[in-house]
Amino acid sequence: MRKMEGRKGRWTGIGLVTLAALIWGTSGPASKGLTNGGMDVLTMMFLRNSICAAAGALFFLIFYRSVFRVSGRQFLFIFAYGAFVVAGTL
């Protein structure tokens, strides 16, 4: 990751904290409205996590593509770990 330096980095940090506070503050009323509208809480959580995962993946795909590069050994570990987790939930 790049280190933020100087005045520009400070304003970027302030902007990101403000954005996080804004999103956090609107999540309560939004979830209350969706719940009152008949949406199941589990469905709401699934959609929220899916949208966040997709947005994060898109961000890293655009700006830090190297995050998705894995070696054969790493892929084998990820595959084995995933199979173990899926088998454990059955």
The confidence score (pLDDT) of residue 81 equals: 92
Residue 88 has pLDDT above 80, yes or no: no
The residue written with tokens 């890293």 in the block is: 60
Residue type at position 84: F
Instruction: Identify the pLDDT of residue 72.
Output: 93
Q: Which residue has the tokens 């904290």?
A: 17
- Over residues 16-35, mean pLDDT: 90
Looking at residue 87, what is its pLDDT? 82
Report CA torsion sign: 42, 43, 45, 46. Answer: positive
The encoded tokens of residue 18 equal 């403000």
Q: Could you read off the pLDDT of 8-25 as tens digits, one per residue?
A: 788 888 999 999 999 889
pLDDT band at 89 (very low <50, low <70, confident <90, very high): confident
Tell me how far apart the alpha carbons of residues 27 and 23 are, in angstroms, rounded to a whole number. Answer: 6
